[in-house]
Structure 1
Amino acid sequence: MLKQIPLLNRIKPHSSAITFVFAAVLMLIICHFVYWQEVGSIQREIDTVARAKADILREHIDNLKRETLFLSKLPDVKGIASLAHQPVLDTEQQAQFNTHIAHLKDVFKYYIQSIPELEQARFIDSKTGFETIRVERMKGSVIALPDSSLQQKSDRDYFIEAQKLQEGDVYVSPFNLNQENGSLVFPYLPVMRVSTLVFSQAKPQKESIGQIVINVSAEVLFSQLDITSTYSNINIYLVNDAGDYLLHPDKTKTFGFDIGQRYTLEDDFTDVGDGMYLTKDDSDFFSWLKVLFFSEENVYLDSTNTQRKVVVLAVANNHLAITKTLTVIFWYWVIIGILILLLKNTKNEVALKAKQQHLNTVLTMEQELNSILSHAPNGIMVVNRQGIITLANTQVERIFGYSQGELLGQSMNVLLPARFCHIHPNFMQAFFSAPETKLMGGGRELYGLHKTAKEVPLEIGLSVIEYKGELQAICGIVDITLRRQLEHLFEMVVDTLPNAVLLVDYNGVIELVNKQTERLFGYSRDDLLGNNIAMLVPESFREQHLAWRQSFFIAAGEEIDTERYYISGLCKDGTIFPLSIGLCTIETHKGKKLLSSIVDLTDSELEASALKKVTENLDRTSKMAGIGGWELDLITNELFYSEETYRIHGLPLGSKLSLDEAIAFYTPDSQPIIRKTLTEAIEMGKDWNVEVRFTNAANKLIWVKVAGTIEYENGKAVRLAGTMQDISERKYFIEELSRSNTELDNFAYVASHDLKSPLRGIDQLASWLEEDLKDKLEDEDAEHLRLMRGRISRMEKLLDDLLSYSRAGKKGDVIHSINIKSVVENVFDLCNTKNAFSLEFESATTDITTASVPLEQVIRNLINNAIKHHDTGKGTVYVSMVVNAPFYEFVVRDDGPGILDEFSEKIFTMFTTLKPRDEVEGSGMGLAIVKKIVVAMGGEISLDTSVQKGACFKFTWPMEIQNLMPNTRDVE
């Protein structure tokens, strides 16, 4: 027995060492677990921060792109673009150009004043690279620089890159320091530039005439990335695609690449793997423990080039992880020390030992519980039956703003809004009467009261625990402020959707609706929420809708693509209407829900019916008009014909033709014309309208009129579309009409010429008789002879007027500028042979461009009539002209006897006179010729019967004379 004692003494030290090693290993395991749990929390936190700050920067860049595009589409910018392509501007155009420039300067000033981050707004000429407009923020004011301060920017990178843009694209430059006249501006101003091109609208090819460029202060943008007031252990860095600092806690390290001294991310940090980094310039012995964690988010400046970007970095140290690990180590060894002390006191009396051991165990459990609760991610609080707080962890302090010392021993009412205080004791009593565990996510949602009197939305989970010798309630508390904000944002987004949206649970109970749902079904939101969705479905569709809804909930797959069904909906007033419903399931914090997207198809069905009717009418009209349609897809080279086009070709419906096969139907002399028009349409964007000869499938030669146009998508020609019409019959009638007109002209000329010869012979004979029998004729015979010669003269005048009438309206005159006042005065002087009449002319416009010869003929006939038919032989002729686009309106009025209303139409017919021919010499053709000329030119003439005295003729004369081609026949 004595020999065994030394052996036992040797074993004890070894047992203590093993125990110590075991305790150390356990400590390391616990420390490793606590440290990496905290590291994970840090990593998640910096990931959230990095994403949030990157989203802010993306949103700013996207807003700036939209602002730049908006500026490029301003009316004044379009006005500049419409004038800039012209080589030389006249005085009026130059004034318009200057007005647009002035207005655009004012718009730029307004934008810079309203958007704090804008420093400059410019319009740069694309051809010269010189600034046309420059408005900038200077010493707190926004000014437009004078022309003498404008600069050449053609050598700047942002100008060169923007010149490569397509219409509607935006270029975002890298962040760098602002330069003026090629040198850095001091103090340094970091900026970013956003540019877009302005194109002229001249055809056939649009041309870039300038750039809209806005300079954005990077400091204003970067100020929104600052988080120092919120997170003390997180820093935000911003680097460009080369790793140079754009944003750094030490501002002296930013934009070094612009001043010749680069500071990059690789210069400051060393990657040690597993997402951890060390600071290179930290020479402390314990620097290897000062690990940094990075989270990066890319913000792309160009959606098509991933190399052009800036990187948002959120960097956090591991101080919190080390601090919490050291705290665990401390409490761990405190507990170990307590256990050691308890073991050393085992020699005390048994009763004391048992009691002390029990007290120490309770103390240890409480300390461990406090330690665990302190590190719990949610708020945990213990409350007794009287509503007194007996335990609260650090998360409770964070949620409510009270320290643990302020909460312990206080009534639960201190954390409740006043409206809940009077009912809370009843809830507590009911809970303790029948304790029931309410898990997180399934408990009640209510509001707590922060120390600052601000209400905090909470989610509460309840259970019971034996604590300090009595049954108490343990409360799990989660601050759901962020979740409520996200839910509110989601509801706002859903509320603005154009479709009706409902969220229902498995039983079909409606939990969310938007405004469109209220408008579509006629129910208010209160009428819908909490009720079954079956109230919106007609009886005949309810079983089918229930099957669809349940199939989505019980589907085996975790994800189901949205499917759309076509059923009918039921309005509050009993109206049934067609709708399309899309169903998909989403996971929420309250479990799986069914999201329904509903589109009212009433208008779509009406539009489809109307479209079908229009299509049928169009097809019917096309057949009646003999016009067929065709379309050539330039991507697939596939050719499409309408039914009428197949009929013209003499082909069965649905026959497939290649482009070459279609061109082969045209005659050999017409094929080059068709190929040329297609080539010009594709290469130059020209429309066409040609008449060519065509041989159909039955080998019948016909004439066709082919018209077409080119269609573009994203600046690329993708489609040719046009019409085809059989014009053989029209061609035949035109040729026949042309031949008839030629024969009629020849007949009028021959008739006039051949009839004049015998008339001149008769007139000569009468003249001889008058001379030979001058003293032998009775007065009555002499009068008869005079009347015969007068009628011969009238007959000759009639033949001349017939020839004039046949030629009236031929549009072969040259168009040039004339002074209408001079024309009228010259015509009046020729007609007023006896100087017995005066002329009064009135017109605000004197110089006009028109066909002068037919206009002079009309005015001459009207003035001559006014003088010839005047009852007193002297008077005044009034002529006036006003511009009423697209016509000149003329009035020719006299102060003679006038014309009765009943003759207002008859006077324009051939051979019509209102007095006997022997009283007033004339053929009755003058006004007929006038009307024919005016109508042929595209105007109208009428007798104004509203004047009190005299005859008043009004006629309109087109400001633009169309189809003035020599030898063109007038067809009536």
Structure 2
Amino acid sequence: MKRTPFKKLWAGWSQLPIRHRGAIVVAIPAVCLVITLTAWVWSREVLIAVRREIESTDEVIREGNTLLLEQINAETGVRGYTFTRDRTFLEPYRQSLANYQSSLKRLQQLQKKKPGRLAEGNTIQQLVQRNLDNLQQIVNTTEAQQLSNPVSPISQSLFYTGKKTMDALRASVGAMQQTEQTYKDTLLKRREGIQEATSAAIWFTAVISGLGFFAAIYLFRQLDRELRDRELRLRESRSLLEAIVANVVDGVILLDEASRIETFNPTACDMFGYQPDEVIGREVERLLVEAQSLTRNPQTNAKQSLMDSPPVQTGRAWQTSGIRKDGTTFPIAISVSDVQLDDRRLLAIIRDMTDVQATQEKLQSRADELARITTILAQTNVTLEDRNRELEQFAYVASHDLKAPLRAIANLSEWIEEDLQGQLPTENQRQMVLLRGRVHRMEALINGLLDYSRVGRTKAPLEKISVKVLLEEIIDSLAPPATVTIAIAPNLPIFTTKVMLLRQVFANLISNAIKHHDRLDGHITIAVQEQEKFYEFSVADDGPGIDANYHAKVFVIFQTLEARDTKESTGIGLAIVKRIVEAEGGSIWIDSQEGSGATFYFTWLKESPHHG
């Protein structure tokens, strides 16, 4: 059944170490708190920056109003002075002259922080300066006129010029203030959005914190339950371990950091002859003859060896001698493991090697006996090889000595026929032919026996061969009648084997199929099936077949299914085939029914078991 993502997540959670899970449980509310604080600090910093921008915008608007109001007051005062000649009317003008530079400077400083606004400030500065210059000209012109004279045309022209300048100044200041107001509105909307986002973030983190709190409680409960389960399993494991230690067949000793004995199981008690209360808290040195097999230093005591030697750290075992309570010594094997509990512990497993040494001595005795027998067998093999060579030489000489008189008999029968040509009755001529047939059969029998005796003793080299090419050579050498059809499967292998032996097997089987066919138009099929470790070859014919009762008989030496008077056969060929195949690690069998042809199967290893 397919697991859901939650189950997969829970499975991954369960596989984490308890320390990691505890850290995650603690981290959940901590992360939520950090996120909340981060969101609050970020929103606070952003709101402070926005508030400063708004204050800067308000200050620009105020400075613009102040500057414009001072210019208007200055213009009004100059007009009053022009009409009344009362210099008290020039007081606003003088204040404007005293203050306009500082007002323009503050305005420029505020606009420096805002890209693109500096040009507006420069325009306003030029207009203010132009207006003040114009007012100064009006004052100068008015002072030069008689008190009783009305406003001169020059002053009127200057008033018109001042009006245009003031109109331009009002427009510039108004445009600047409108730009600042638009920017202020944008800042106000931004502040509102930040406040809303901050509230949402705080609510979100509050919800996450609440969920994290409940998740932490749940996970803490899970961890607490798991820890209780582990503690229970640990107690059970400890009880089981104590039961195992008490009943194990080897001696088990637990040592503390100072190599003092903490536990001493019953087997160790039986082994050393001590009771637990006699050795617990004592040095383990009293149980060992020496520990120089560990440190290879005769001056190192057992305590130092057990605690400081490399074999202890790697879990290696060594052999030494133990001391029983009665002072007798006995061989032991010790394996020490370094166990990290609250502090370092050493677990020593001790095995009494008395029986093992006795067994080893017996095995050594048997090994010596086997070595002696092996030497005798080697000598026997040499003798057998000598006897085999003598036997092979005898077989060769015997076959030569037997074939010589046989050839003489065959030649003699031919000479008699030639000498008595036309005088021998038909029956005697048939008997002469039968005589020579028996001679040839005897010669073939001798050759077959010689070949049979050589199977398994003659060394055959390994050669790489194509079975298809090998079969073509065999068929060509056998020279079957033209009416006999031999079909070769296309999937025949190419491999390295003992070609001479494989050639002999195929030659005998194909020759047998041709010789014993009951028709001149026989058909023979050669095929192969590849198995894991061997090839399974088959030679099938459509001849008379072989009754199932004779399937085993055909492989027995000298056994034939037809009378020797009707079919010349020594009965050795299939016996040689069987012996070769089985000597090479294969098997051979026949599948046939009388009247339905015969198929000979044999297996041949892909890799020859031995050379020779």
The TM-score bracket by the shorter chain reads 0.3 to 0.5
TM-score by length of 1: 0.29
Structure with greater proportional strand content: 1
With a CA cutoff of 8 Å and minimum separation of 6, indicate the structure with the bigger relative contact order. Answer: 2
TM-score by length of 2: 0.45
Larger Rg: 2
